Copies of this chain bind each other. A is one copy, B any other.
Amino acid sequence: MGMTGKVGQVDAAVRERLLTAALELFNTKGYASTSVREIVAAAGVTKPVLYYYFGSKEGIYLELMKGCHATFEEVVSRLATFQGKSSERVIQFCEGIFDGVVANLPVVRLIYAIYYGPPQGAPHFDFDQYFERMVEIVGAIVEEGTAKGELRQADVKVVTWAFIGTLNTAMEEQLCHKEPRISRETMVRILNLIVQGIAAA
* A interface residue numbers (CB < 8 A to B): 26-33, 87, 112-113, 115-120, 128, 131, 135, 149-155, 157-159, 161-162, 164-166, 168-170, 172, 175-177, 181-182, 186, 189-190, 193-201
Contact = CB atoms under 8 A, between A and B. Distances in A.
Contacts of A159: 193, 198
20 contacts: A28-B119, A30-B118, A118-B120, A128-B177, A149-B200, A150-B199, A151-B199, A152-B193, A158-B193, A161-B169, A161-B190, A162-B166, A162-B194, A165-B190, A168-B169, A194-B197, A195-B199, A197-B197, A197-B198, A197-B199
Contacts of A131: 181
Nearest to A85: B199
A118 B117 contact: yes
A93 to B, nearest CB: 14
A112 B182 CA distance: 19
Nearest to A109: B116
A168 B161 contact: no
Chain A binding surface, main DSSP class: helix
Contacts of A117: 30, 113, 116-118
Given A170-B165, A194-B197, A31 B118 contact: yes
Contacts of A166: 161-162, 165-166
Contact of A196 (B87, B164, B189, B199): B199
A87 B198 CA distance: 9
Residue of A161, A168, A198 with highest tally of chain B CB at under 10 A: A198
Nearest to A198: B195
Residue of A131, A158, A189 with highest tally of chain B CB at under 10 A: A158
A201 B149 CA distance: 10
Contacts of A26: 118
Across the A-B interface, the 3 shortest Cβ-Cβ residue pairs: A197-B197, A117-B117, A30-B118
